[in-house]
Amino acid sequence: MISLPDYNAMNDADFRQTVRSFVEENYPDIPRHALSRLHWEEVKPWYLILSEHGWICPTWPRENGGMGLNAGKHLILIEEFERYGCARVNDIGPVMLGPLLLKYGTEAQKAYFLPNILSGDHIWAQGYSEPGAGSDLAAVRCEAVLDGGEWVINGQKTWTTLGMDANWIFILVRTDKTVKKQAGISFLLVPMDAPGVTIRNILNLELEAEFCEVFFDDVRVPADHILGEVNQGWTAAKALLGHERVFIGAPRLSASAMSRLKRIARRAGVWEDPVFRDRYVALQCDVMDLTDLFETYVDKLRGGEDIGADVAMLKIFQSELYQRISDLMMEVAEEESGLRLPPEADRQLHAAATYLSARPTTIFGGSTEVMRNVLAKAVLDLPS
Amino acid sequence: MISLPDYNAMNDADFRQTVRSFVEENYPDIPRHALSRLHWEEVKPWYLILSEHGWICPTWPRENGGMGLNAGKHLILIEEFERYGCARVNDIGPVMLGPLLLKYGTEAQKAYFLPNILSGDHIWAQGYSEPGAGSDLAAVRCEAVLDGGEWVINGQKTWTTLGMDANWIFILVRTDKTVKKQAGISFLLVPMDAPGVTIRNILNLELEAEFCEVFFDDVRVPADHILGEVNQGWTAAKALLGHERVFIGAPRLSASAMSRLKRIARRAGVWEDPVFRDRYVALQCDVMDLTDLFETYVDKLRGGEDIGADVAMLKIFQSELYQRISDLMMEVAEEESGLRLPPEADRQLHAAATYLSARPTTIFGGSTEVMRNVLAKAVLDLPS
Amino acid sequence: MSGAMNEDWQENARMIVDSARAVVPADGNLDRIRKARFHGSGFDRDVMRQAAELGWLLMRVKEDSGGLGLGMRETCALMELLGGGLVPEPVLSSIMAASLLQEALPEAALAGEAVIVTAWQDRTGAQDWRGGSAGGRLLGQKLNVPGAAGADLFAVITGDGIAVVPRDANGLTVAGEETLDGGRTGLLTFNGVEVDFLPCDRVERVLQDARLAHSAYLLGLSERALAITLDYLRVRKQFDRPIGSFQSLQHRATEMKIRLELARAAIYATARRFDTGADDRTCSRDAARCKLRAADLAMLVAREAVQMHGAMGITDEADIGLYVRKAMTEANLFGGPRQQRATLAALLDQEDAA
Amino acid sequence: MSGAMNEDWQENARMIVDSARAVVPADGNLDRIRKARFHGSGFDRDVMRQAAELGWLLMRVKEDSGGLGLGMRETCALMELLGGGLVPEPVLSSIMAASLLQEALPEAALAGEAVIVTAWQDRTGAQDWRGGSAGGRLLGQKLNVPGAAGADLFAVITGDGIAVVPRDANGLTVAGEETLDGGRTGLLTFNGVEVDFLPCDRVERVLQDARLAHSAYLLGLSERALAITLDYLRVRKQFDRPIGSFQSLQHRATEMKIRLELARAAIYATARRFDTGADDRTCSRDAARCKLRAADLAMLVAREAVQMHGAMGITDEADIGLYVRKAMTEANLFGGPRQQRATLAALLDQEDAA
């Protein structure tokens, strides 16, 4: 195992410089500032470089092969990666599954799966949603029954992001139909090359295969490929870590969209137009105010405070703001709003790309509607 | 009875000129273009002049003392009254009760009440709402029981517009508590001077006593002071005539607010400001498009077509538009937005007056929320 | 307007809409539309031939020039239907050409043997059309020409008049780019093309007609997208209820409906005014406000339709996506909302002066 | 900022807020506020005396000038509380005067015996303050002076410096108008009043402080108005259900909450930046955006609060109406949203140049 320094002991400025230098020295010759996700074949060099240096799992404890970063340091790392425009790797293993394995996994599971995530040998996908269970995740119908020491899985998952790149998938399955929805769900770990697993790519509005459907037809996995107890999968599935709930509302998408909006406005010759400016500064204030609100949550993380249900405000506002920025982009781009390819082959000038990439943000990761329902009840204490 | 010509036989232009001349010749020395309602003592001269000329009940049949106008002619009359800024009279009798009497009243009721409305001897108020029955009108609790050939009424009404000016009130009362909500309601006619009737004025946000609460404490009225059958009051209460449902969404409030907005903008020195203009023209388009939509309904009225539940769109849009115009007024008026009295004693320049007068429009006459519920179900066929 | 005239236009419109059923399946099937995307010119020449045979090109040609002499109400009715079916053929652009050229419309176009489209726009983001000629020849560029990739003839609008140019004319280069909806938009470059210019004093008015007709296309598109979304709301269940029963979605759906009916009312009232002799200022103003309303509507419906479809809304396989991409492609043609508001703001001064 | 400093300001703020409980009842009772409306000056001199005794006027006076040397975070915490209680006294205006005058603050004001307010504004709808003097005397007008009707002393800001003028000074006329909330706003007219001018290079900064502090007042007002509305939604029933259970109202309520928390975050982060040495451009920009956010918030909450209260919302007897009328009165002080956006738009050029 690589021996890393205790980054948490560094002061913030030094750590920021460390990350900046690391990225500048090590980022491979792959796209920067991509608007849509890269596939494994493209992003693999970066994953492996991070892996080599022990930087692929920033939040895992150092004894498990991670960087052991606290929330504040992790934020700096994210900021510097964003600043440079580093591509997002296939990070379901490092970000989602790893922490769950550390919390709920057996020693044998940890010993087997964690090193494979670290090395990039296992690329994970997440299998939660089903055609009838989107916002209402507890309605999963994909089922698993124990048979001769093996789970036999039948059913379907969908909206599996980059599932075509993965060789493992974790899924929520129904293992007891007799109890109320949430109580009969388990969390299984399944190799994608198991007989009976098939996938079908789904083209998104950008006409890219970013997610897929995964079908399970009498798929068999050993009984110990379960995370946590039987019928206790719901708890693990809902255990999104505090700082992930904060970061999903980070202002970075909106902030970077504003810089693109500015370029598009200049190109369209409206940057000096007072009417445009009036709308631009209103959006700019939204981004700045969101940044201030975001920082209050980051301060809480730094101080070790608990993050409440109110953190959903960040994601709701950020995603809608991102869309409002993209709306103005489309208007300013005039006839070029309808082009399939970027003007001057510059993605930054492509209003439609931002517009389309902004659509899923209010749908995935908790739809705005469901999050508002939760806010109304859990935070505003309004009646059912 | 006054003998009037058959106005419906005139062409529209001639009739318009007739109305215009009538108003110019007859309108008394009372305020024009008032933003809030005038009380009886102020508006009485105009009521009596209209009465004298047989013009107080435009839609009643000529044989009943009305003008017998069809929808198209009635609209012209309204337009010309609006253009001149004629004050709205206490018109609950002519507009609401008269048509209901004509439809549901006994011969004796018609013979007694209609002439009193025509002469201005009876000024009516409407008693529908109660503290617990606003949007949900069917929840009325004010009750009446028959006792010795008389209805004995106990309970309370509220939001009775200009109730303090009225000497008669019609009310919805519960006459059967054993059946489902709508089925046990009757429609009673009550003199305000009956023993046991008391009123309490309610100041509105403009600090004016425009409506009041009316309390009934063992109030007794003869058994024949009921309109329609016992327990059939709901039908009458809901029988708003087609053209009233159209006119309540007429663009006139918004259109006149736009002309005030323009004056306020000029005063504030922003009329030439492109940022202001961008917002002004967007609102202006809303008014013009609403006018076009309104005209399609008026055309239907003229053609004798039925008006469906979709007509609620007019009122929803008009009232919200009126409020949006008033929002911009408040912004443009800068510090003067906070003045209690009009700048230069000119109500037209008083942003706050428009802002406040726009508030009730989305609440009374069917709240926007309830109307959207109805539209969703009755027009868009969305499930319950 | 008399009642009889009113019935006339409704009968004419009904006949046009009926004829359009040959092109737009009544059941809303979009297989043809889906297949035409991202291939060749992005549209089907046979459909353009059909359009000619059905007389659509003659709609805006006067009767004494051998046309049908129909009005903007009929044209809008047709465009609304085509928008609902996402018809990708440059029908409006051909109608514009015929409206400009009148009896000078080339025979081949009239017969449906050649596809003619109109090239008018001098630069992106503006409504200028007087460029493209110098010294009696075509010189310069025309942008955003719909259907250029599959057109045989171009009716080119310039300050010197209208020129009809065959695709293979000396000195003409046709380039273009793919659009989001799977079609192509054209860029014509003229290097001193020799042509005859037909004088025309109706250019501004034809562009206003087109702006209005295009608004009707967006209306049809929005109407169908809303209908598809309402269907989805009725059947899609979450939390054991159809999502269309959730009040928040219901209220947002009613807002779309209201905006839609405002657009419809404005467009047909404007068409009536156009048909019955409105003055220039009314035409400028009302074409601008219809376009503003229709573009805002299409983008509102696109946004809400995606959101209400949830994850399905961001897939290419759901039909709603075709509507979204079409709205994105078309909303800014003939001037986007920013330009329309600027036009209307400029008219305020005239209003003050008047 | 170190953790210790952070705790310092929170402790200071807590003490200030505790002291303000003397003026703002913890139970939200508004009887005093309601009674003070539309009488005399519209505020209570005893409360201003209390404010002085509690040291509020010294908050923004430096320690070496005998003040408390507190920051904008403490000031905002105080103003937020006063806003929640709709306190009508011109506390902010007095604090401004003290902040401008520092050790020159008159003894009578410091002791609470005389009410001092600040007069700065040259004209409605603009942030100009350099007028009001000529030839070493006060000449001209100052507008929109809060509490003028009950003030004893005016700290008048001019391009020539700050002048302290007693109400009965020769050549000073105090007029004014009633405001919607039941107070009065003042118009000072100077006819060559003889004064001493105190030089001051911090006027712009004090106005930014005031803009920020006033935003905190609007925040407090909005917060309490939202709380009252949420209470109403929980108890008011229609159709046999609490109206707060209707999803459409729930979603709109969450939008208010989000806007409120954005305002709070922006205001306190800005206050921290002010307290820890932000540059001029940051101060201009952040004061403007806080004011923009707070004014938009107050008007949003006012609008929604009325609507959600239904008919009750448009009565004077419901407390929510007091909040609505106060929002209408205060939203545009220190520049309304239009002006703030214009300020921010002008800063874009500096940003570009930088």
Q: Mean pLDDT throughout D178-190?
A: 96
pLDDT band at C6 (very low <50, low <70, confident <90, very high): low
What whole-number percentage of chain B has pLDDT above 90? 82
3-state secondary structure of C324: helix
Q: Please report how many Cα atoms fall inside a 13 Å half-sphere around the Cα of residue A327, on the Cβ side.
A: 20
Looking at this protein, which amino acid is placed at residue C97?
A
Q: Do the domain assignments include residue B64?
A: yes
Give the residue carrying structure tokens 């609507």.
D307
- Do D348 and D209 lie in one domain? The reply is yes
Task: Give the number of other Cβ atoms within 10 Å of residue A322's Cβ.
Answer: 26
Task: Give the number of other Cβ atoms within 10 Å of residue C20's Cβ.
Answer: 23
**Separation of alpha carbons D320 and D306, rounded Å:** 7
Q: Which of B232, B265, B291 marks a domain boundary?
A: B232
* Sequence-distant (≥ 6) Cβ neighbours of residue D90 within 8 angstroms: D43, D48, D115, D117, D146, D147, D150, D151
Q: Which of A135, A336, A363 sits opposite C238 (nearest CB)?
A: A135
**Separation of alpha carbons B32 and C92, rounded Å:** 50
What whole-number percentage of chain C has pLDDT above 90? 91
3-state secondary structure of A67: coil
Structure confidence at residue B171 (pLDDT): 96
Q: Mean pLDDT throughout C183-188?
A: 96
Residue C344 to residue B317, Cβ atoms within 8 A? no
Q: What is the CATH number of the domain that holds A149?
A: 2.40.110.10
Strand bridging mode B197-202 / C241-242: unpaired
Looking at this protein, which amino acid is placed at residue A272?
E
pLDDT band at B170 (very low <50, low <70, confident <90, very high): very high
Q: Mean pLDDT throughout B78-100?
A: 92
Structure confidence at residue A297 (pLDDT): 93
- The yes-or-no verdict on residue A163 having pLDDT over 80 is yes
Cα angle: A278, vertex A281, A284; to 5 degrees? 155
Identify the bridge partners of residue A199 per DSSP, sorted by sequence position.
A214
pLDDT band at B240 (very low <50, low <70, confident <90, very high): low
Residue C316 to residue A333, Cβ atoms within 8 A? no
B308 at interface of D, judged by CB pairs closer than 8 A: no
Average pLDDT, chain A: 93
- Do A55 and A128 lie in one domain? The reply is no
What number of C-beta contacts closer than 8 Å exist between B and C?
A: 90
**Separation of alpha carbons D58 and B45, rounded Å:** 62
Strand bridging mode C153-158 / C116-119: parallel
- The yes-or-no verdict on residue C10 having pLDDT over 90 is no
By C-alpha distance, the chain A residue nearest D285 is A285
Q: Do the domain assignments include residue B384?
A: no
Which of B130, B201, B206, B334 to mutate to probe the D interface, most D CBs <10 Å? B334
Residues of C in contact with A382 (CB under 8 A): none
By C-alpha distance, the chain D residue nearest B181 is D239
Average pLDDT, chain C: 94
Structure confidence at residue B3 (pLDDT): 82
- The yes-or-no verdict on residue D3 having pLDDT over 80 is no
- Do A281 and A374 lie in one domain? The reply is yes
Which stretch of A174-178, A311-315, B74-78, C159-163 has the lowest confidence by average pLDDT? Answer: B74-78
Structure confidence at residue B187 (pLDDT): 95
B309 at interface of C, judged by CB pairs closer than 8 A: no
Structure confidence at residue C354 (pLDDT): 57
Q: Catalytic site residues of A?
A: 244
| Partners of chain D (3+ Cβ pairs below 8 A) | A, B, C
**Separation of alpha carbons C231 and B380, rounded Å:** 10
Residues of A in contact with C328 (CB under 8 A): 330, 337-338, 352, 355
**Separation of alpha carbons C48 and C23, rounded Å:** 10
Structure confidence at residue A241 (pLDDT): 60
pLDDT band at B354 (very low <50, low <70, confident <90, very high): very high
Counted domains in chain A: 3
**Separation of alpha carbons A224 and B195, rounded Å:** 84
A380 at interface of D, judged by CB pairs closer than 8 A: yes
* Sequence-distant (≥ 6) Cβ neighbours of residue D317 within 8 angstroms: B202, B203
B304 at interface of C, judged by CB pairs closer than 8 A: no
Task: Give the number of other Cβ atoms within 10 Å of residue D172's Cβ.
Answer: 19
Token digits for B50?
Answer: 């209209």
Residue B372 to residue D248, Cβ atoms within 8 A? yes
A182 at interface of C, judged by CB pairs closer than 8 A: no
Q: Mean pLDDT throughout D58-84?
A: 96
- Do B254 and B136 lie in one domain? The reply is no
Catalytic annotation, pick one of B150, B244, B334, B336:
B244
Q: Mean pLDDT throughout C288-305?
A: 98
**Separation of alpha carbons A83 and A86, rounded Å:** 8
Token digits for A267?
Answer: 């190109």
- Do C187 and C221 lie in one domain? The reply is no
- The yes-or-no verdict on residue A142 having pLDDT over 70 is yes
Structure confidence at residue A82 (pLDDT): 87
| CB proximity under 8 Å: A 238-277 to D | 274, 277
Report CA torsion sign: B324, B326, B328, B334: negative
D241 φ/ψ angles, rounded to the nearest 5 degrees: -135, 150
- The yes-or-no verdict on residue C1 having pLDDT over 60 is no
Q: Do the domain assignments include residue A110?
A: no
- Do A82 and A198 lie in one domain? The reply is no
Which of D245, D251, D304, D307 to mutate to probe the C interface, most C CBs <10 Å? D251
Which stretch of A45-49, B46-50, C8-12, C256-260 has the lowest confidence by average pLDDT? Answer: C8-12
Residue C257 to residue B280, Cβ atoms within 8 A? no
Q: Which of B206, B232, B258 marks a domain boundary?
A: B232
What number of C-beta contacts closer than 8 Å exist between A and C?
A: 122
Q: Which of A39, A73, A89 marks a domain boundary?
A: A89
- Higher-pLDDT residue of D15 and D209 is D209
- Do D143 and D246 lie in one domain? The reply is no
Which stretch of A242-246, D136-140, D227-231 has the lowest confidence by average pLDDT? Answer: A242-246
- Do D61 and D145 lie in one domain? The reply is yes
Residues of D in contact with B205 (CB under 8 A): 306, 314-316, 321, 324-325
Residue D239 to residue B135, Cβ atoms within 8 A? yes
- The yes-or-no verdict on residue D349 having pLDDT over 70 is yes
**Separation of alpha carbons A302 and A75, rounded Å:** 10
- Do D246 and D182 lie in one domain? The reply is no
pLDDT tens for A346-379 read 989 999 999 999 999 999 988 999 999 999 999 9
Residues of A in contact with B278 (CB under 8 A): 275, 278
Average pLDDT, chain D: 95
Average pLDDT, chain B: 93
Residue A276 to residue C338, Cβ atoms within 8 A? yes
Chain centroid to CA B190: how far?
Answer: 20
- Give the gap in angstroms from C-alpha C318 to the nearest C-alpha of chain A: 10
Counted domains in chain C: 2
- The yes-or-no verdict on residue D6 having pLDDT over 70 is no
By C-alpha distance, the chain C residue nearest B272 is C349
B140, B231 Cβ separation under 8 angstroms: no
- The yes-or-no verdict on residue C214 having pLDDT over 70 is yes
Task: Give the number of other Cβ atoms within 10 Å of residue A11's Cβ.
Answer: 8
End-to-end, the C-alpha distance of chain D in Å comes to 26
C288, C204 Cβ separation under 8 angstroms: no
Identify the bridge partners of residue C179 per DSSP, sorted by sequence position.
A339
* Sequence-distant (≥ 6) Cβ neighbours of residue B290 within 8 angstroms: B249, B251, B254, B314, B317, B318, B321, C262
- Do C169 and C69 lie in one domain? The reply is yes
Q: Which of A204, A341, A352 sits opposite C314 (nearest CB)?
A: A204
**Separation of alpha carbons C271 and C78, rounded Å:** 12
- Do B283 and B355 lie in one domain? The reply is yes
Q: Do the domain assignments include residue B94?
A: no
- Do B60 and B30 lie in one domain? The reply is yes
- Do B306 and B265 lie in one domain? The reply is yes
- The yes-or-no verdict on residue C282 having pLDDT over 90 is yes
D49 φ/ψ angles, rounded to the nearest 5 degrees: -65, -45
Q: Give the structural domain span for B17.
A: 7-89
Q: Mean pLDDT throughout C143-163?
A: 97
Which of C241, C243, C245, C248 to mutate to probe the D interface, most D CBs <10 Å? C248
> Which residues of chain D have a Cβ shorter than 8 Å from any chain B Cβ?
121, 124-125, 143-144, 177-181, 185, 237-240, 246, 248-249, 299, 303, 306-307, 310-311, 313-317, 321, 324-325, 328-333, 336-339, 341-342
A282-292 exposure pattern, b = at least 16 Cβ within 10 A, e = fewer: bbbbbbbbbbb
Chain centroid to CA C309: how far?
Answer: 26
Q: Do the domain assignments include residue A113?
A: no
Residue C179 to residue A327, Cβ atoms within 8 A? no
pLDDT tens for D148-170 read 999 999 999 999 999 999 999 99
- The yes-or-no verdict on residue C4 having pLDDT over 60 is no
Which of B272, B275, B281, B331 to mutate to probe the A interface, most A CBs <10 Å? B275
**D319-322 contacts at long range (C-beta below 8 A, 24 or more positions apart):** D319/D30, D319/D228, D320/D225, D320/D228, D320/D229, D320/D232, D321/B205, D322/D30, D322/D33, D322/D34, D322/D86, D322/D181
3-state secondary structure of A125: strand
- Give the gap in angstroms from C-alpha C248 to the nearest C-alpha of chain D: 4
- Do A75 and A193 lie in one domain? The reply is no
Residue A156 to residues B369, C79, C114, C237, C309, Cα–Cα distance (Å): 40, 42, 51, 17, 20
Q: What is the CATH number of the domain that holds C84?
A: 2.40.110.10
Structure confidence at residue C353 (pLDDT): 67
Taking 3-state DSSP, the helix, strand and coil percentages for chain A, each rounded to the nearest 5, stand at 50, 15, 30
- The yes-or-no verdict on residue B36 having pLDDT over 90 is no
Residues of D in contact with A281 (CB under 8 A): 341, 344-345, 348
Residues of B in contact with C342 (CB under 8 A): 278
pLDDT band at C61 (very low <50, low <70, confident <90, very high): very high
**Separation of alpha carbons B25 and A138, rounded Å:** 74
Q: What is the pTM of this model?
A: 0.95
- Do C214 and C129 lie in one domain? The reply is no
Q: Mean pLDDT throughout C143-154?
A: 96
- Do D188 and D220 lie in one domain? The reply is no
pLDDT tens for A22-32 read 999 999 999 99
Residues of D in contact with B280 (CB under 8 A): none
pLDDT band at B80 (very low <50, low <70, confident <90, very high): very high
Q: Mean pLDDT throughout C208-220?
A: 98
C97, C109 Cβ separation under 8 angstroms: yes
Strand bridging mode A168-174 / A124-127: parallel
Residues of D in contact with C247 (CB under 8 A): 246-248
Q: Do the domain assignments include residue B237?
A: no
Q: Give the structural domain span for D273.
A: 203-353
- D194's enclosing H/E stretch is strand D184-194
What ipTM was reported for this prediction?
A: 0.95
Q: Which of C139, C163, C194 marks a domain boundary?
A: C194
Looking at this protein, which amino acid is placed at residue A298?
V
Query: Helices in B141-215 by DSSP H: which ranges?
Result: none
Q: Mean pLDDT throughout A53-75?
A: 92
Q: Do the domain assignments include residue A327?
A: yes
What number of C-beta contacts closer than 8 Å exist between A and D?
A: 90
Which stretch of A219-233, A357-371, B244-258, C107-121 has the lowest confidence by average pLDDT? Answer: B244-258
Q: What is the CATH number of the domain that holds B370?
A: 1.20.140.10
Residue D203 to residues A312, D60, D331, D352, Cα–Cα distance (Å): 40, 13, 22, 26
- Mean pLDDT comparison of A293-307, C16-30, C129-143, highest-scoring range: C129-143
Q: Which of B135, B276, B338 sits opposite D310 (nearest CB)?
A: B135
- The yes-or-no verdict on residue D4 having pLDDT over 60 is no
Q: Which of D164, D194, D224 marks a domain boundary?
A: D194
- The yes-or-no verdict on residue A160 having pLDDT over 80 is yes
Strand bridging mode D153-158 / D116-119: parallel
* Sequence-distant (≥ 6) Cβ neighbours of residue A346 within 8 angstroms: none
Q: What is the CATH number of the domain that holds C246?
A: 1.20.140.10
**Separation of alpha carbons C75 and C17, rounded Å:** 10
Structure confidence at residue D7 (pLDDT): 67
3-state secondary structure of B337: helix
| Length of chain B in terms of residues written | 384
Give the residue carrying structure tokens 């007989």.
A195
Q: Do the domain assignments include residue B241?
A: no
| Partners of chain B (3+ Cβ pairs below 8 A) | A, C, D
Give the residue carrying structure tokens 């975001």.
A294
Structure confidence at residue D175 (pLDDT): 96
User: What does DSSP assign to residue D190?
Assistant: E
Chain centroid to CA A144: how far?
Answer: 27
C70, C19 Cβ separation under 8 angstroms: no
D77, D139 Cβ separation under 8 angstroms: no
Strand bridging mode C137-146 / C184-194: antiparallel
- Give the gap in angstroms from C-alpha B159 to the nearest C-alpha of chain C: 26
Residues of C in contact with A331 (CB under 8 A): 332, 336-338
- The yes-or-no verdict on residue B366 having pLDDT over 70 is yes
- The yes-or-no verdict on residue D264 having pLDDT over 70 is yes
By C-alpha distance, the chain D residue nearest C249 is D248
- Give the gap in angstroms from C-alpha A147 to the nearest C-alpha of chain C: 31
pLDDT tens for B107-135 read 999 999 999 999 999 999 999 999 988 88
What whole-number percentage of chain A has pLDDT above 90? 82
Residue C251 to residue D250, Cβ atoms within 8 A? no
Query: Helices in D119-244 by DSSP H: which ranges?
Result: 203-235
